[in-house]
């Protein structure tokens, strides 16, 4: 055992060394200069061929002001909200530093300093390096700053170096960006709004920034901003930093900031491409938005310039042909689209909207809130083929199984009882027309986009299985709707990117790859980690995916997607139209490319979806109409000169399991091999509700690889459900909110 003298000596030596290290560290660090934080570089984005797309940030939007030019209300707003003891504390929070060091040692996320002094120090040392040496350096600097600088100097430095969003650093830039005035002219109410931004501009900018986060919708951000604005004013009043009269005047009306503006080079689709890539970088690294906006990064993207231009041109061409901006019902129509490479996940093109220069700041390709309608039905069919129904004891269901396609049907529980509404009346599911189809195959129901078979099928399979299939295919949790019968009809609200990616899973024979937009990020010539290509996973059995593809080929050849036949190559796809005609979709793919197109109308004031009834001079817009035309126009250009590899053959799958209550067993079907789509002319489906009723026969012949069923036109049909199921099915009534991943909950959807 060592003697007490040795132990004491070692302890004293350790403490002495530690004190010496602290003393040396304290002596070596310098007090930060707020002017140093103004230095910045460009962020340069590159196309997939490594040619330059755009360089952003030609200089930080920042101008220092002295403390006497910063309103007292702004000074007290940040003190009351963030550091009430600012004028009495030492400037260092030892516990906050300890937490940061412990988290860093464990490999977790670091936590920033909690005092204004520590945040000022951090602002002047922005970098993505999360190292112990840097953290110790910041600690020593904070201690020195707290003892050497006056509190007014620290507060001035903090307000001049803080990031307020929209590329604005410092209070002067923020005042100009948000209110178009100098900082000295800000009112107490405006100061509280700007102080709220310091908690996180992505979530507290009232204009929203959904390009960076799906939760940052204008409506959600406005709510968060207003709540924190009110709280900050309340704290200032409680701390006696504003008088009763000043408080009443400030709280009387929320001062709405001016809208976002386009910056140099960020016009057309470039703005949405750059923001999509930025969002990806922030999600796959430790880089903060403030660090990123300081610049110095080279971002190499997956975006194909020719395909991006082709997609934009396709939208503009069809818009010009079909829409008249002078016609009231054609106003506020928007498009969102995305194109993903199957078996890879690369996002090669997207259409986000009219451009920042036209005051359209929401990326329609990468936002949720627009219900997908009947483009959801393939996930129901895939779940049935993979899991079977309660009748089949886990054996997969064949797409030749028959379900009742008539209109206005009751949905039956597994025990034979009916799904009820809240008032205990029976829930009925409707189609778009009252045509009596009788019992038809699921293949035929998909072809004509008939609702009632898929609602009952989804209920028989279990909506949780449908959700699981969609999730493994790439749909995010935040966009799923309530699991009631209408869930089968596309009440969920995934983005165009996610729908293109999910359908690419079918194109890749069941293999899913996460969509990605960035291949490489460099800083100071060095590659940053976190940007390796995503790996594929088997999301569903190969035979299930191939049979879905075969069924969706038939939708284009004989069903609601016939407008896509002019593509002139092997393709599969599905139309979708939602309740009240508030959105219309077409999602389709070849083996090389999967593309989704969404069309909707939106109230520019509150971002609520509007009905498209009467838009383009027709009674209602269907997915097989304008969205399919945009898709076809784009795919022609995107695949020009490419081969047509077709799709793998679909092997026979599952057992024929008819719906409970079907009048008789399914008769035997003669199968004749055939590998090419039917050349039998079929009438183009009508897009109006006055179309002739199709013949309900469901005779099929031809090979399992490409079943050929009779077609009598039909339309992109669906339901207007009108009632909400309960208690068996959770209430889904409500209004869709654009951008809300859980919005768009309708009682029924159209095909």
In this predicted model, what pLDDT tens digit does every residue of 663-703 receive, in sequence order? 866 454 444 333 333 333 333 333 333 333 343 333 332 33
Chain segment 463-500, per-residue pLDDT in tens? 999 999 999 999 999 999 999 999 999 999 999 999 99
Instruction: In whole angstroms, give the CA distance from residue 611 to residue 599.
Output: 11
Instruction: In whole angstroms, give the CA distance from residue 741 to residue 280.
Output: 18
User: Which 3 state secondary structure label does DSSP give 409?
Assistant: strand
Of the listed ranges 327-336, 603-612, 658-667, 694-703, the least confidently predicted one is 694-703
Of the listed ranges 374-388, 478-492, 721-735, the least confidently predicted one is 721-735
Query: Residue 409: beta bridge partners?
Result: 429
Give the pairing of strands 708-709 and 749-750: unpaired
Phi, psi of 339 (to 5 degrees): -135, 125
Its pTM surpasses 0.85: no
Instruction: In whole angstroms, give the CA distance from residue 577 to residue 589.
Output: 18
Q: Which residues contact 412 (CB under 8 A, 6 or more apart)?
A: 418, 419, 456, 459, 660, 661
Of the listed ranges 457-471, 475-489, 503-517, 717-731, the least confidently predicted one is 717-731
Instruction: In whole angstroms, give the CA distance from residue 58 to residue 411.
Output: 60
Q: For the chain, what is the radius of gyration of the CA atoms? A: 30
Handedness of CA 561, 562, 563, 569 (dihedral sign): positive
Closest C-alpha among 746, 378, 724 to residue 578: 746
Query: Residue 169: beta bridge partners?
Result: 163
Position 413 confidence tier, pLDDT thresholds 50, 70, 90: very high
Phi, psi of 29 (to 5 degrees): -80, 150
Kindly report the CA angle at 425 between 424 and 428, in degrees rounded to 5?
130
Instruction: In whole angstroms, give the CA distance from residue 129 to residue 62.
Output: 24
Residue 260 pLDDT more than 50? yes
Residue 718 pLDDT more than 70? no
Position 266 confidence tier, pLDDT thresholds 50, 70, 90: confident
Task: Say what the pLDDT of residue 469 is.
Answer: 98
Task: Please give the full DSSP string across 591-630, using - where no structure is assigned.
Answer: SS-EEEEEEEEE-TTT-BEE--TTGGGSS---TTTHHHHH
- Do residues 561 and 574 make contact, with C-beta atoms less than 8 angstroms apart? yes
Query: Residue 403: beta bridge partners?
Result: 440
Position 6 confidence tier, pLDDT thresholds 50, 70, 90: low
Q: Which residues contact 557 (CB under 8 A, 6 or more apart)?
A: 565, 677, 678, 682
The count of residues in the chain is 751
Closest C-alpha among 467, 545, 470 to residue 506: 545
Helix, strand, coil percentages (3-state) for the chain, rounded to 5, are 40, 15, 45
Residue 444 pLDDT more than 90? yes
Chain segment 175-194, per-residue pLDDT in tens? 998 999 999 999 999 999 99
Residue 252: how many CB atoms within 10 A of its CB? 8
Instruction: In whole angstroms, give the CA distance from residue 54 to residue 295.
Output: 13
Closest C-alpha among 380, 433, 444 to residue 407: 433
442 CA to centre of own chain: 31
Instruction: In whole angstroms, give the CA distance from residue 378 to residue 574.
Output: 8
Per DSSP, 257 falls in state: P
496-507 vs 377-387: helix crossing angle, rounded to 10: 40
Instruction: In whole angstroms, give the CA distance from residue 113 to residue 326.
Output: 55
Domain 31-282, CATH 1.10.3810.10 — does that match? yes
Kindly report the CA angle at 391 between 537 and 469, in degrees rounded to 5?
20
Instruction: In whole angstroms, give the CA distance from residue 739 to residue 537.
Output: 29
Instruction: In whole angstroms, give the CA distance from residue 242 to residue 746.
Output: 47
Closest C-alpha among 110, 157, 158, 163 to residue 133: 110
Helix (H) and strand (E) counts in the chain: 21, 20
Task: Say what the pLDDT of residue 521 is.
Answer: 97
695 CA to centre of own chain: 40
Q: For residue 131, say if its preceding peptide bond is cis, omega within 30 degrees of 0.
A: no
Q: How many CA atoms lie within 13 A of 721 on its CB side?
A: 33
Q: Domain 373-664+713-750's class?
A: alpha beta
Instruction: In whole angstroms, give the CA distance from residue 699 to residue 204.
Output: 58
Q: Which residues of 535-572 are buried (b: 16+ CB within 10 A; e: fewer)?
A: ebeebbbebbbbbbbbbbbbbbbbbbbbbbbebebbbb
Residue 142 pLDDT more than 60? yes
Mean pLDDT confidence for 16-37: 54
Closest C-alpha among 520, 495, 496, 494 to residue 302: 520
Chain segment 116-137, per-residue pLDDT in tens? 988 888 887 655 455 556 666 7
Task: Please give the full DSSP string across 481-525, using - where no structure is assigned.
Answer: --SSGGGGG------HHHHHHHHHHHHTTTEE---B-EEEEEETT
Q: Which residues of 327-346 are buried (b: 16+ CB within 10 A; e: fewer)?
A: eebbebbbbbbbbbbbbbbb
Give the pairing of strands 594-602 and 749-750: unpaired
Task: Say what the pLDDT of residue 4 is.
Answer: 65
Instruction: In whole angstroms, give the CA distance from residue 548 to residue 526.
Output: 44
Instruction: In whole angstroms, give the CA distance from residue 373 to residue 53.
Output: 35
Bigger pLDDT: 722 vs 614:
614
Mean pLDDT confidence for 28-45: 65
Chain segment 273-321, per-residue pLDDT in tens? 999 999 999 999 999 888 888 888 999 999 999 999 999 999 999 999 9
Residue 746 pLDDT more than 90? no
Residue 717 pLDDT more than 60? no
Residue 701: how many CB atoms within 10 A of its CB? 14
Closest C-alpha among 493, 457, 413, 415 to residue 729: 413
Instruction: In whole angstroms, give the CA distance from residue 39 to residue 62.
Output: 10
Instruction: In whole angstroms, give the CA distance from residue 64 to residue 118.
Output: 19
Task: Say what the pLDDT of residue 112 is.
Answer: 46
Instruction: In whole angstroms, give the CA distance from residue 638 to residue 704.
Output: 30
Domains of the chain: which residue ranges?
Answer: 31-282, 373-664+713-750
């Amino acid at each position: 055992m060592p003697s007490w003298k040795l132990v004491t000596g070692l302890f004293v030596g350790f403490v002495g060394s530690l004190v010496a290290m602290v003393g040396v560290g304290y002596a070596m660090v310098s007090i930060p200069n707020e002017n140093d934080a103004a230095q910045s570089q460009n962020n340069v984005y590159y196309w997939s061929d490594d040619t330059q797309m755009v360089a952003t940030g030609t200089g930080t939007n920042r101008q220092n002001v002295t403390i006497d030019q910063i309103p007292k209300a702004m000074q007290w707003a940040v003190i009351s909200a963030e550091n009430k003891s600012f004028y009495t504390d030492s400037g260092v929070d030892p516990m906050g530093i300890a937490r940061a060091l412990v988290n860093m040692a464990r490999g977790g996320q670091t936590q920033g300093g909690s005092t204004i002094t520590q945040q000022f120090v951090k602002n002047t040392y922005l970098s993505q390096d999360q190292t112990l040496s840097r953290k110790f350096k910041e600690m020593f600097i904070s201690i020195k700053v707290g003892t050497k600088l006056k509190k007014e100097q620290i507060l001035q430095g903090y307000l001049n170096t803080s990031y307020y969003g929209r590329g604005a650093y410092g209070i002067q830039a923020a005042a100009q960006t948000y209110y178009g005035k100098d900082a000295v002219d800000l009112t107490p109410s405006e100061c509280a709004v700007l102080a709220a931004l310091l908690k996180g501009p992505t979530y507290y900018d009232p204009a929203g920034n959904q390009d960076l986060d799906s939760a940052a919708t204008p409506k959600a951000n406005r709510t968060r901003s207003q709540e924190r604005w009110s709280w900050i004013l309340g704290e200032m009043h409680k701390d006696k930093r504003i008088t009763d009269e000043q408080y009443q005047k400030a709280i009387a009306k929320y001062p709405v900031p001016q809208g976002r503006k386009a910056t140099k080079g960020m016009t057309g689709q470039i703005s949405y491409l750059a923001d999509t890539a930025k969002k990806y970088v922030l999600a796959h690294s430790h880089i903060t938005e403030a660090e990123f906006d300081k610049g110095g990064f080279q971002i190499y993207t997956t975006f194909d310039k020719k395909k991006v231009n082709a997609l934009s041109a396709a939208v503009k061409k069809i818009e010009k042909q079909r829409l008249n901006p002078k016609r009231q019902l054609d106003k506020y129509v928007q498009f969102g689209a995305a194109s993903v490479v199957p078996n890879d996940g690369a996002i090669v093109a997207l259409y986000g909207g009219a451009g920042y220069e036209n005051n359209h700041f929401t990326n329609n390709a990468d936002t949720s809130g627009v219900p997908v309608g009947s483009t959801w039905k393939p996930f129901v069919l895939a779940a049935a083929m993979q899991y079977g129904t309660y009748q089949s004891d886990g054996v997969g269901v064949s797409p030749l199984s028959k379900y009742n396609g008539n209109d206005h049907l009751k949905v039956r529980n597994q025990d034979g009882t009916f799904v009820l509404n809240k008032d205990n009346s029976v829930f009925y599911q409707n189609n778009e027309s009252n045509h009596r189809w009788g019992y038809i195959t699921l293949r035929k129901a998909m072809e004509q986009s008939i609702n009632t078979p898929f609602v009952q099928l989804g209920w028989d399979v279990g909506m949780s299985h449908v959700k699981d299939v969609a999730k493994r295919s790439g749909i995010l949790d935040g966009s799923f709707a309530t699991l009631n019968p209408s869930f089968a009809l596309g009440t969920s609200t995934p983005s165009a990117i996610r729908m293109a990616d999910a359908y690419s899973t079918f194109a890749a024979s069941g293999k899913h790859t996460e969509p990605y937009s960035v291949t490489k990020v460099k800083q100071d010539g060095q590659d940053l980690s976190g940007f390796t290509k995503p790996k594929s996973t088997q999301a569903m059995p190969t035979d299930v995916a191939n049979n879905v593809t075969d069924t969706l080929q038939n939708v284009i050849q004989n069903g609601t997607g016939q407008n896509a036949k002019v593509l002139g190559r092997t393709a599969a796809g599905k139309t979708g139209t939602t309740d009240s005609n508030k959105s219309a979709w077409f999602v389709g793919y070849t083996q090389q490319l999967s593309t989704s197109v969404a069309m909707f109308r939106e109230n520019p004031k509150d971002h609520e979806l509007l009905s498209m009834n009467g838009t383009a001079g027709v009674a209602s817009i269907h997915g097989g109409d304008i969205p399919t035309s945009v898709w076809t126009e784009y795919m022609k250009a995107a695949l020009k000169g490419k081969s047509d590899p077709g799709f793998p053959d679909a092997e026979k799958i599952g057992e024929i399991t008819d719906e409970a209550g079907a009048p008789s067993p399914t008769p035997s079907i003669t199968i004749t091999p055939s590998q090419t789509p039917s050349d039998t002319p079929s009438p183009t489906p009508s897009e109006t509700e006055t179309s002739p009723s199709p013949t309900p026969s469901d005779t099929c012949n031809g090979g399992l690889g490409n079943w050929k069923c009779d077609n009598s036109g039909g339309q992109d049909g669906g339901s207007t459900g009108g009632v909400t199921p309960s208690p068996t099915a959770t209430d889904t009534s409500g209004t869709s909110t654009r951008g809300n991943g859980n919005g768009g909950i309708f009682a029924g959807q159209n095909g």
